[in-house]
A and B are shown apart, each in its own frame.
Chain A
Amino acid sequence: MATTTMTPPGAIPNYLTYQGRFRGILGWLLSVDHKRIGVLYLWSIVIFFLTGVALGVLMRLEMLTPKETIMSATQYNALFTLHGVIMIFLVIIPSIPAVFGNFFLPLQIGARDVFFPRLNLLSWYCFMGGGVVAIVALFTGNGFPDTGWTFYMPYAAETSTNVVLGLTGAFIIGFSSILTGLNFITTVHRMRAPGMTWRRMPLFVWSLYATSWIMLISTPILGITLLLVIVERLTGLPIFDAAQGGDPLLYQHLFWIYSHPAVYIMILPAMGVVSDIVPTFARRNIFGYNFIAASSLAIAGLGSLVWGHHMFTTGISMTSKIVFSFLTFVVAIPSAIKVFNWVATLYKGSIHLEVPLFYVMMFIFLFLIGGLTGVLQASLGADAHVHDTYFVVAHFHYVMFGSTMMAFFAACHYWFPKMFGRMYHRGTALAAALIFFVGFNGLYFTMFILGYIGQSRRYFEYTDTPAFQNLHVMATVGSWILATGVVLMFANLIGSLWFGKRSSANPWEAPTLEWQTASPPPFENFETIPTVTHHAYYFPGNRQA
């Protein structure tokens, strides 16, 4: 935007080549540059994600036939726990905020870095530290916890597996989340460029801001809850042990007071990505900016009050069930507002069907299915029928995998040229997306049907219901197609790091601030801090309000 001519363009080395105090690998591991930390997160998360996918494919493989084949019940239990812990705590929760939030939040508001750069690096170490502890839990003692990622009491206190280490891992990862949230809020409040008023901020920043508040307010509750389970296991204090006066249901309350808002930690940044991509490829201002921004905050607020819908079948009172059910219906409204506004933005837009928009359209489709099936489960009667079945599993995979991870993929393809200065192969990216889409629906839509006709989740065999096998085979084949799509997509992206064509500073002609600096961005982002004079999605030459 506003670059001075004091130094010739490109005279400041980009963040990949800038030589700080340390060289080589240490230059990455000890860098407090938000962009390098973002890339550190990116690599770690991609590795964890591929691990999680592999575990998922193994679980599906076990379900190919009704009988026990490749693993025992205990192994299956540990596997779905590990799959859940990796995917939730190490992939989806940090995915978009920690990678693209870290990288692009300062760029989008015209800042040189986040407010607390050293805390930012510490948050990555917490993240990796927690991950390492979880891996240690895997190979020591009696193996990884077999409790499911929810660590429900009282079983979590009784099982002989390595629950304490597993929980400690999750506890440490929580710090990473808190520090990131704290950092983002302070950054948004204190470091916006001149002229970057609240209503000129890109919607991605708004969604990160809302997400950060949830991280900040909810994560400590998870922290203390997990800590209490650790204390109960180590000291025998009967915090949740009903036999001695404790209350296991209180565990579920505390757990979901965090873990339901966590769902919005996962989806809100994804919505922010979509809100940034749609106007770029429709070449027009986003429709209903204020409503999208406000709905992020509304989701953050309302989403903190609906945890009880995870507990409809636990025997909580009818009054609280009705209240929680009502609030759950209400939280669908701000989500729908966003979808309507995205579609309205595309309407009469000058649509450029590039790879990121393609991913975003798949996001909208999958999110619709995920969201609407969620509304179905908010009703008390329907929930009693589908509770703890594959239906629930399919629902949250549509929301978390089909939506959040799809937006993550979209973000990868949208910002790849900015982050690395190169472009990936367009045809391969489109093909990967299509293969993924087919596999995804083959796998999870089938699970909707399976769940509806009665397949319970977390079973390692189904010898009593061999009639389900056809659908199970379909789902398993779907998982192979899905995995193929994922591998192809990442192969394309990773290969393009070296072999991709050089990209210009703004290949998409995008309006937001991060595209106004070089690709890859120079060290400290902007030579001169830009002065902002327009709203975020201003396209010169467009007739706009």
Chain B
Amino acid sequence: MSEEMDTQNNSGAATLPHAEHYDPEGIKIGMWLFLITELMTFGGLFILYAMQSYTYRADFLAASGSELSRAMGAFNTVVLLTSSLTMALSINAILQGARKRSMVLLGITIACALIFFGVKYFEWTAKFHHGVYPGSEHWVNELNNGTRTFFTLYFSMTGLHGVHLFIGLCLLIWCLVRIQKGQITPERHMMLENCGLFWHLIDLVWIFLFPLFYLIA
């Protein structure tokens, strides 16, 4: 069996594999399906939020008003929206063959992500300074159940959002490198396009997080 097959292998290997199957439409479908899973992931948290904010309505409103800075939240929203715009423009640029422009726009997107992280860092550390973290004296003795739940959700949801933003950031940097190397071209731009979709999803999630945590008061 093996000898016979071995000779066949050699003759077979010459004619195989068949021509590569490239189907941008299908690649995009795959990405959209992945985005559905992301929606469901965040959806689980939004369900938690809906239930708990129903239970602790008053505490949620109070905690949102007293502890979260609307200015910082609004600033971050603008930053993320801008980044989505530059992301879309960057894809547009690569489609037109303007590699340089595409890279600059992608660079701005990455910069926006870093600014967002910077602001978030200040926000989180401010919370920690105020003793808003599990196990602190303030948390154990002074906060009530509703407020603790509000911040539990705040940390979980913005935390998960942050993790996604970080993954998105890494993907964008990778895209940048690949454009630089000429591996993302007007003909083969699906990677950039899909990363763009992912980036818009991150943006979209934030659009919901912002009012739910910052604006309800």
A306–B29 CA distance with the chains assembled, in angstroms:
29
Residues of A within 8 A of B36 (CB): 216-217
Question: Which residue in B9, B30, B148, B149 is a CB contact (below 8 Å) of A182?
Answer: B30
- Min CB distance B204 to A, Å, is 16
Our pick among A18, A185, A237, A250 for the contact of B156 (Cβ within 8 Å) is A237
Q: Does A12 contact B (CB under 8 A)?
A: yes
Contact across chains for B17 and A524 when beta carbons are under 8 A apart:
yes
Given A190-B29, A216-B33: A12 in contact with B16 (beta carbons within 8 A): yes
Closest A residue, CB atoms, query B30: A186
Contact call B149/A18, Cβ cutoff below 8 A: no
Interface residues of A in 213-271 (CB under 8 A from B): 216-221, 223-225, 227-228, 231, 235-239, 244-247, 250, 253-254, 257
Tell whether, in the assembled complex, residue A246 and residue B15 are in contact, meaning their CB atoms are under 8 Å apart: no
Within the complex, the shortest CB–CB distance from A54 to chain B, in Å, comes to 34
Shortest CB distance B201–A (Å)? 13
- Which residues of chain B are within 8 angstroms of A10 by Cβ–Cβ distance? 8
CB distance from A396 to the nearest CB of B (A): 24
Which residues of chain B have C-beta atoms less than 8 A from A224's C-beta? Answer: 41-42, 44-45, 160
Contact B33 A182 (CB under 8 A): yes
- Answer yes or no: B177 CB below 8 A from chain A CBs: no
Contacts of B48 in A (CB 8 A): 228, 239, 250, 254
* Interface flag for B47 (CB, 8 Å): yes
B152 to chain A, nearest CB (A): 5
List residues 114-166 of chain B with CB under 8 A from any CB of chain A: 134-135, 144-146, 148-149, 152, 155-156, 159-160
How many Å lie between the Cα of A237 and that of B143 in the bound state? 13
Residues A7 and B15 in contact, CB atoms below 8 Å apart: yes
Beta-carbon contacts under 8 Å, B5-60 to A = 5-6, 8-9, 11-13, 15-18, 21, 23, 25-26, 29-30, 33-34, 36-38, 40-45, 47-48, 51-52, 55-56
B9 touches A220 (CB 8 A): no
- A-B CB pair tally, cutoff 8 Å: 134
Contact B43 A221 (CB under 8 A): yes
- Complex CA–CA separation, A123 to B203 (angstroms): 28
Are B156 and A221 in contact, with the CB atoms below 8 A?
no
Query: Do B12 and A186 touch (CB < 8 A)?
Result: no
Q: In whole angstroms, how far apart are the Cα atoms of A388 and B213 in the complex?
A: 40
User: Chain B residues with Cβ under 8 A from A220's Cβ?
Assistant: 37-38, 40-41, 43-44
Q: A125 at interface (Cβ–Cβ under 8 A)? A: no
User: A116 to B194, alpha carbons, bound, how many Å?
Assistant: 14
Q: How far is the CA of A35 from the CA of B194 in the complex (A)?
A: 28
B73-90 CB mask vs A (1 if < 8 Å, else 0) is 000000000000000000
Known: A182-B30, A220-B38, A221-B41. A236 touches B135 (CB 8 A): yes
B9 touches A18 (CB 8 A): yes
Cα–Cα, bound, A190→B22 (Å): 11
Task: Tell me if A19 counts as interface (CB < 8 A to partner B).
Answer: yes
Residue numbers in A under 8 Å from B2 (CB-CB):
17
A87 to B159, CA, bound (A): 33
B130 to chain A, nearest CB (A): 16
A524 and B16 contacting across the interface, CB-CB below 8 Å: yes
A245 & B148 in contact (Cβ 8 Å cutoff): yes
Q: Does A11 contact B (CB under 8 A)?
A: yes
Q: Does A186 lie within 8 Å of B33, measured CB to CB?
A: yes
A254 near B47 with CB under 8 A, answer yes
* Contact assessment for B135 and A178 in the assembled complex, using a CB-CB cutoff below 8 Å: no
Q: Which residues of A contact B42 (CB under 8 A)?
A: 224
Closest residue of A by beta carbon distance from B56: A245
Given contacts A19-B9, A237-B134, A245-B56, contact A115 B47 (CB under 8 A): no
Q: Which residues of A contact B160 (CB under 8 A)?
A: 224, 227
Q: Contact: A239 with B156, CB < 8 Å?
A: yes
The answer to whether A225 touches B21, judged by C-beta atoms less than 8 angstroms apart, is no
A-B contact pairs, 28 of them (CB 8 A): A11-B8, A11-B11, A12-B8, A17-B2, A17-B5, A17-B8, A18-B13, A119-B30, A178-B34, A181-B33, A182-B30, A182-B33, A189-B29, A217-B37, A221-B44, A224-B42, A227-B160, A228-B156, A231-B159, A235-B155, A236-B135, A237-B155, A244-B145, A245-B56, A254-B44, A523-B12, A523-B17, A524-B16
A residues lining the B interface (CB < 8 Å): 7, 10-14, 17-19, 112-113, 115-116, 119, 178, 181-183, 185-186, 189-191, 216-221, 223-225, 227-228, 231, 235-239, 244-247, 250, 253-254, 257, 523-524
